[in-house]
Structures are given as C-alpha cells and as structure tokens.
Structure 1
Amino acid sequence: MEIDLSNQRPHITINFENGFDDFFIIHKEVDIESLKFTREEVEEVGETQKHIVKINDLLKNIDDEQVLECEIKFQFCI
C-alpha cells in the first residue's frame, strides 16, 4: 500500500533526547484481503494482545478510583 505524506503534517510529534517520532492519522479505504503481513508483525500483535488481556484482568481486581488512575497513566505511556 502506498501512502504519500509529503503534503501532510503529523497529527502528533513526540520529542525525545536523540530525535522525534511523527504520527499521522490516515483515513483510507483498504481491501483487507489484499494486505500481507510478515511473521514478525503477526507475532507482535499476538504478544500485544496477551499484554492487553493481562492488563484488563488486573484492572478488574482494582477498585474504581485506582482503575481510573491506572488507565490514565497507561494511556499516557502509549
């Protein structure tokens, strides 16, 4: 899939000590069947999903006030 970002500004830029990362939000119709993924990409999604399930399980065992504080910190780190 080709995406031309030459005339686009990033929606978010995150600066860090040795540089920065730009993040773009792109709206585009895509035929899901035409996408091809490498084994590494599929494995990364699987690992991420495992972490999300663990986090959700932990959040179920914390009272509402602590859950809100934890969710805010977690979202900020992403």
Structure 2
Amino acid sequence: MAIRRTVIIVDDLNGEPLDNGGESLSFLVDGRAYEIDLTSANAAAFREAIAPYVAAGRELQGPPRTRKPRAKRS
C-alpha cells in the first residue's frame, strides 16, 4: 500500500493555492516579525500599500536594534 501526501500552500488572505506563483513575504512592525504567503497579485498589492511608508522610512543595516535599560548610577 502506498500513501501520497500533498502539501498545498495557499494565500493567507484569500485561500487561493500558490501553485502558479506566489511568494512568502516577511515584514517587521512594532518590533514583531511576520511572514505571509501571498499570490503574485496580492504580493504586488501589499508592496503598493506599504510603498509610501517605505519611501518615507530609513533602511536599517543589520538586525533590528532594541534598547537596553540603562544601569542606574549610585
């Protein structure tokens, strides 16, 4: 007896299978990292939606930085 298992990756917004293209996008908001699987059309819409924010922002070099609390001086 043979068993065949199939994994189908679907668009996280509309459930459409990503058989004919699509991609996983990673993004960071408020220090939290996210990943979303989108069809090519939804990936383009995502990029278009965030374009004004990307244009106004600064690109970070290296991993995101977090601030550590300063030690109190005695």
Q: TM-score range by the shorter chain?
A: under 0.3
Larger Rg: 2
User: Normalising to structure 2: TM-score of the pair?
Assistant: 0.25
| More strand, by proportion | 2
Higher relative contact order structure (alpha carbons within 8 Å, sequence separation ≥ 6): 2
| More helix, by proportion | 1
User: Normalising to structure 1: TM-score of the pair?
Assistant: 0.24
